[in-house]
């Protein structure tokens, strides 16, 4: 072809092979921003059926990591693909601003400057700090090509938002959900605060494991009459520091108990535990008397710190799998203990202060931290003859999510949302069944989370958050949730932010003439100083955002009215977190879940499947990938993995993603190169495409249609798989190979060339559109590289899914035609290959083939006419019918036809007169037309 190079239609395009995404992407971001492209998209979709993705707010205190990055990319793909499929899909990103991590960081800053801020100063700095990180994260998310209302995101610390949080609390309080009560709750003595379930992490740690004797104090029924020396009950515990708070011993009334002899003592244990206790004490324990568990109820033993320890019915908490069958019960220090204590009227003892130090009642350990006192308590018990055995045990123990130190159970007065108020739990369970959970297994997780969740402890003893608008009467100490006070608190919060509650005097919130509803006193009153759990903030986002973003609120209301979809899309920890808190608030106030669809994605792990941690040195920052490869690579990585599972990331994985990207990019480049002279008006109608082109166009349409379905189901990894496959297999490996000769050597406007271009044009258009939610930058770059594409729509991100993907599929069994053609091509190539390997043939073009097959197969091939040679890339093909053939037989021989010097095909019409260029008649015509 060399000498005729200038006479060929070789590919021509400015679309560069080298992507240079790190350099080009920021320019594209500016280009979109200048043109207001996102706003145009919003306007274009207004009034369409709604699909709302409500953004779960990340916490504003650090750079984004691979987890937050992939979460946002997945959400962006939901929003973009929904828009592409014709939905109105507004997206308002948000941030969670209040809470402990920021308060702790800011407190540290002040401490380093040796400053002691008051509450208001501390809160101001927290607000600034949160705003600084919002700005950082916003830039990082935008750099990933995420589209949304970045100029007005929702912030939980925005005044109007805080006011809605107060109003939401007031609504629940007025509906009777909120109560103040003594509860044994998770308490972090290090951070001095109550912790929510979602703030607890379990870690395996070694704990003491001791058996303690409780001597008999009072035996009114004479259960142990006649025993001397007096019996001692044996209880087992792994938390010796809770013994000063002991008020009872739980038993199983249905189980048999035995008095046994141990040296010169009488011990009481459950019969099924006898063998295990014998092992622990290292001696046989002969049975002296047998007692039914039920008979023990009401007997008083003496706890180590001198309290009466009453035997109570411990159903269902007494296990015969461990311990002694008599369970040490400290209602002030355990959830089950508290529940049983409440039921049995044991009362509560809690000699531990906010910092986890013993108070009076735990002598001689007053002032000691309960976290490091166990060894001394054990010694102390030993000195008093109370210790029967002591060892250690490794078990799973709750730790604080923030400081990673062990937490304790501690009875305190807190505000609670009562989960069983008005059958709330049942109603929430009913709503769970109405929501679509994806993957389906997530339904079980939320069911468990709702079924098992305790009452929601709403109060925190911290500063950075929304104040609880409750009052205390100084006269009678009643805790008051007064609707008019709460309403006023919301109004002042809207005006001045949540500082108002802490800054303004209590009078600012009192209605005139207000009296304590309990004692009629006209004052004084004092404001609650606790703040709301940040999970209450995020549980309220679905209400607050509708007020702070009225247009989004209208869309939300329309979605509810018109049965549109409202989607939440977060990680698996949100079954106990945001999915749960939003459900509690939504069902509490409206009877309904705030969402219709909940998607739960997996964790992002390192290449070996480990969580990423600074301490492991395996953290990969999104920015480091963007700088090296570009944001489209981060996006392809996130979207190419099935988000329903955990997602791994590492150098090799990213290298593979970059390779896949290069292949897709090169295919786009090849398409653009061969369409340089093509304009949409050159397109050949489907019916006039050549048979091979028609078959391929239908195949392509069918693949695109499947991609549409996958987008509809948010199965992005299937779309990326299909895109890569279409580019590398369908296009690069087959169709482009088959069409090359026509594209390069025919006259530019030859119908057979335009036919191939029409198919490539569809491929270019449809694949750019299909790739646009994934490779947001590259798809736009492709789009802007062809004036024909820009003429159909100014930006790929404003285009809609091509309708013809649906039509073409219904034009007949055409999809099958392509499969049939590929099969024949495979058989022919397999027959040619040995001759090429033996160097009998230099190229397949030198082959003449004879195909023998059953008449229907031959008829189908005959329909291709002259195109068959071009499709098989051979010099000559003979078709022979064989009525008995069950497969296709191929015979190959080397052609004796001369080769055209321009198009390199062997043809009978090549004029090979010596001394002049050997050209086929087709090439001769092309050349004649050019001159
Ligand atoms: Zn802590
Ligand atoms: Zn009062
Ligand atoms: Zn030729």
Is 50 exceeded by the pLDDT of residue 499? yes
Ligand 1 centre from 576 Cα, in Å? 19
Is 50 exceeded by the pLDDT of residue 398? yes
How far out from the chain centre does Cα 574 lie?
8
Ligand 2 centre from 180 Cα, in Å? 15
Would you place residue 111 in the very low, low, confident or very high pLDDT band (cuts 50, 70, 90)?
Answer: confident
Q: Which ligand is nearest to the CA of 514?
A: 2
Q: Which ligand is nearest to the CA of 474?
A: 2
Ligand 2 centre from 755 Cα, in Å? 89
How much is the mean pLDDT over the chain?
A: 94
Structure tokens at 242: 């809770």
How far out from the chain centre does Cα 520 lie?
52
Would you place residue 756 in the very low, low, confident or very high pLDDT band (cuts 50, 70, 90)?
Answer: very high
Cβ contact 79:158 at 8 Å: no
Q: Which ligand is nearest to the CA of 400?
A: 1
Q: Which ligand is nearest to the CA of 406?
A: 1
Residue 891: per-residue pLDDT:
96
Alpha-carbon distance of 844 to 816, in angstroms, equals 25
Q: Which ligand is nearest to the CA of 101?
A: 1
Which of 763, 760, 771, 671 minimizes the C-alpha distance to 721?
Answer: 771
Is 50 exceeded by the pLDDT of residue 553? yes
Ligand 2 centre from 767 Cα, in Å? 72
Which helix (H) or strand (E) element contains residue 640? helix 631-640
Per CATH, which fold does 10-17+632-812 belong to?
Isoleucyl-tRNA Synthetase; Domain 1 (1.10.730)
Query: What 3-state DSSP class applies to 534?
Result: helix
Q: Measured between alpha carbons, how far is residue 487 from residues 504, 591, 857 in Å?
A: 15, 22, 81
Residue 592: per-residue pLDDT:
97
Ligand 1 centre from 241 Cα, in Å? 19
Ligand 1 centre from 402 Cα, in Å? 5
Cβ contact 440:600 at 8 Å: no
> Which strands form 565-570's sheet, in the order they lie side by side?
51-53, 565-570, 597-600, 436-438
Ligand 3 centre from 895 Cα, in Å? 16
- 126 appears as a binding residue in the annotation: no
User: Which numeric CATH code is attached to 47-177+418-468+530-601?
Assistant: 3.40.50.620
Q: Give me the mean pLDDT over the 634-653 stretch.
A: 95
Give residue-wise pLDDT tens across range 296-334.
999 999 999 999 999 999 988 999 999 999 999 999 999
Alpha-carbon distance of 614 to 604, in angstroms, equals 14
Per CATH, which fold does 824-930 belong to?
Isoleucyl-tRNA Synthetase; Domain 1 (1.10.730)
DSSP 332-401: GG-HHHHHHHHHHT------B-TTSBB-TTSTT-TT-BGGG-HHHHHHHHHHTT-EEEEEEEEEEEEEET
Residue 260: per-residue pLDDT:
96
Residue 807: per-residue pLDDT:
61
| Domain 10-17+632-812 matches domain 824-930 at the CATH topology level | yes
| Residue 634 exposure: Cα atoms within 13 Å on the Cβ side | 35
Q: Give me the mean pLDDT over the 201-209 stretch.
A: 93
Q: Give me the mean pLDDT over the 239-247 stretch.
A: 96
Structure tokens at 868: 């068959």
Alpha-carbon distance of 416 to 671, in angstroms, equals 63
Ligand 1 centre from 539 Cα, in Å? 23
Q: Judge residue 421's burial from the number of C-beta atoms within 10 Å of its C-beta, 0-12 exposed, 13-18 middle, 19 or more buried.
A: middle
- 516 appears as a binding residue in the annotation: no
Give residue-wise pLDDT tens across range 273-304.
999 999 999 999 999 999 999 999 999 999 99
- 570 appears as a binding residue in the annotation: yes
Q: Which ligand is nearest to the CA of 745?
A: 3
Cβ contact 540:27 at 8 Å: no
- 103 appears as a binding residue in the annotation: no
Cβ contact 722:805 at 8 Å: no
Ligand 2 centre from 485 Cα, in Å? 15
Q: Measured between alpha carbons, how far is residue 13 from residues 73, 147, 160, 365, 785 in Å?
A: 30, 29, 53, 82, 8
Which of 792, 795, 793, 797 minimizes the C-alpha distance to 772?
Answer: 797
Is 50 exceeded by the pLDDT of residue 244? yes
Domain boundaries, the chain: 10-17+632-812, 47-177+418-468+530-601, 193-410, 824-930
Ligand 3 centre from 850 Cα, in Å? 23
The runs of H, that is alpha helices, within 731-880 are: 736-745, 751-771, 776-784, 787-792, 804-809, 814-837, 855-862, 867-872
Q: Give me the mean pLDDT over the 545-557 stretch.
A: 97
Ligand 1 centre from 194 Cα, in Å? 9
Residue 808: per-residue pLDDT:
58
Ligand 1 centre from 187 Cα, in Å? 8
Give residue-wise pLDDT tens across range 501-536.
999 999 999 999 999 999 999 989 999 999 999 999
Per CATH, which fold does 193-410 belong to?
Isoleucyl-tRNA Synthetase; domain 2 (3.90.740)
Ligand 3 centre from 255 Cα, in Å? 98
């Amino acid at each position: 072809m060399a000498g005729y190079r200038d006479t060929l239609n070789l590919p021509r395009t400015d679309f560069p092979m080298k992507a240079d995404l790190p350099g080009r992407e920021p320019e594209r971001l500016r280009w979109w921003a200048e043109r207001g492209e996102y706003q145009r998209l919003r306007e274009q979709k207004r009034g369409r059926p709604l699909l709302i993705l409500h953004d779960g707010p990340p916490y504003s205190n650090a750079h984004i990591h691979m987890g937050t990055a992939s979460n946002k990319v997945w959400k962006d793909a939901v929003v973009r693909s929904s828009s592409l499929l014709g939905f109105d899909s507004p997206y308002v990103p948000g941030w969670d601003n209040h809470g402990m991590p920021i308060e702790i960081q800011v407190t540290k800053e002040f401490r380093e400057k040796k400053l002691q801020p008051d509450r208001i100063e501390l809160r101001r700095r927290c607000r600034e700090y949160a705003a600084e990180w919002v700005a950082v994260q916003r830039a990082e998310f935008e750099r990933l090509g995420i589209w949304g209302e970045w100029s007005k995101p929702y912030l939980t610390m925005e005044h109007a938002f805080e006011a809605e949080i107060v109003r939401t609390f007031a609504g629940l309080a007025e509906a009777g959900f909120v109560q103040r009560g003594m509860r044994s709750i998770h308490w972090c003595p290090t951070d001095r605060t109550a912790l929510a379930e979602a703030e607890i992490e379990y870690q395996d740690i070694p704990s003491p494991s001791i058996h303690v004797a409780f001597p008999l104090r009072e035996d009114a029924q004479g259960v142990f009459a006649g025993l001397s020396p007096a019996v001692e009950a044996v209880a087992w515990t792994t938390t010796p520091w809770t013994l000063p708070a002991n008020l009872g011993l739980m038993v199983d009334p249905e189980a048999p108990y035995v008095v046994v002899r141990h040296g010169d003592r009488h011990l009481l244990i459950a019969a099924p535990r006898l063998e295990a206790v014998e092992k622990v004490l290292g001696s046989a324990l002969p049975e002296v008397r047998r007692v039914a568990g039920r008979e023990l109820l009401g007997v008083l033993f003496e706890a180590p710190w001198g309290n009466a320890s009453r035997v109570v019915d411990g159903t269902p908490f007494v296990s015969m799998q461990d311990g002694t069958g008599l369970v040490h019960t400290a209602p002030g220090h355990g959830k089950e203990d508290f529940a049983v204590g409440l039921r049995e009227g044991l009362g509560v003892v809690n000699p531990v202060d906010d910092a986890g130090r013993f108070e009076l009642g735990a002598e001689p350990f007053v002032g000691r931290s309960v976290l490091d006192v166990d060894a001394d308590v054990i010694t102390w018990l030993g000195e008093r003859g109370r210790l029967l055995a002591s060892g250690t045990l490794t078990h799973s123990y709750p730790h604080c999510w923030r400081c990673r130190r062990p937490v304790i159970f501690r009875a305190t007065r807190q505000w609670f949302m009562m989960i069983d108020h008005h059958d709330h739990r049942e109603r929430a369970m009913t709503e769970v069944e109405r929501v679509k959970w994806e993957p389906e297994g997530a339904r079980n997780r939320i069911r468990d989370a709702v079924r098992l969740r305790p009452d929601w402890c709403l109060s925190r003893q911290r500063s950075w958050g929304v104040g609880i608008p409750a009052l205390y009467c100084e006269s009678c100490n009643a805790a008051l949730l007064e609707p008019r006070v709460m309403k006023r608190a919301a109004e002042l919060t809207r005006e001045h932010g949540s500082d108002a509650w802490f800054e303004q005097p209590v009078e600012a919130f009192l209605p005139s003439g207000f009296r304590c509803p309990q004692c009629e006193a006209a004052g004084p009153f004092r404001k609650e100083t606790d703040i709301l759990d940040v999970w209450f903030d995020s549980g309220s986002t679905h209400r607050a955002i509708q007020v702070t973003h009225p247009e989004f609120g209208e869309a939300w209301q329309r979605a509810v009215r018109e049965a549109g979809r409202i989607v939440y899309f977060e990680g698996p920890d949100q079954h106990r977190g945001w999915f749960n808190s939003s459900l509690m608030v939504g069902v509490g106030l409206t009877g309904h879940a705030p969402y219709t669809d909940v998607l739960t994605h997996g964790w992002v792990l390192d290449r070996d499947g480990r969580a990423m941690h600074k301490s492991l040195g395996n953290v990969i920052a999104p920015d480091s990938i963007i700088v090296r490869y570009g944001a489209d690579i981060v996006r392809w990585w996130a979207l190419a993995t099935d988000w329903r599972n955990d997602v791994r990331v590492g150098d090799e994985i990213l290298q593979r993603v970059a390779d896949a990207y290069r292949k897709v990019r090169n295919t786009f480049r090849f398409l653009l190169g061969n369409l340089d002279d093509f304009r949409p008006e050159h397109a050949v109608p489907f019916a006039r495409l050549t048979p091979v082109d028609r078959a391929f166009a239908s195949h392509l349409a069918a693949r695109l249609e499947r991609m549409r379905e996958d987008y509809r189901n948010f199965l992005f990894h299937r779309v990326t798989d299909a895109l890569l496959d279409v580019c590398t297999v369908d296009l690069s490996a087959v169709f482009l190979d088959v069409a090359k000769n026509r594209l390069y050597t025919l006259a530019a406007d030859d119908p057979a060339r335009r036919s191939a271009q029409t198919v490539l044009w569809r491929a270019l258009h449809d694949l750019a559109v299909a790739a646009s939610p994934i490779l947001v930058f590259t798809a736009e770059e492709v789009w802007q590289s062809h004036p024909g594409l820009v003429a159909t729509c100014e930006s790929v991100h404003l285009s809609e899914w091509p309708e013809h993907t649906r039509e073409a599929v219904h034009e007949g069994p055409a999809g099958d035609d392509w499969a049939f053609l590929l099969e024949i091509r495979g058989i022919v190539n397999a027959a040619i290959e040995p001759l090429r390997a033996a160097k009998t043939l230099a190229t397949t073009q030198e082959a003449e083939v004879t195909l023998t097959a059953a008449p229907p197969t031959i008829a189908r091939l005959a329909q291709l006419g002259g195109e068959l040679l071009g499709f098989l890339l051979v010099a000559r093909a003979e078709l022979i019918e064989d009525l008995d053939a069950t497969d296709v037989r191929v015979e190959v021989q080397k052609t004796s036809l001369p080769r055209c010097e321009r198009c390199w095909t062997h043809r009978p019409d090549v004029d090979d007169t010596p001394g002049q260029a050997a050209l086929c008649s087709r090439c001769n015509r092309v050349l004649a037309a050019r001159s």
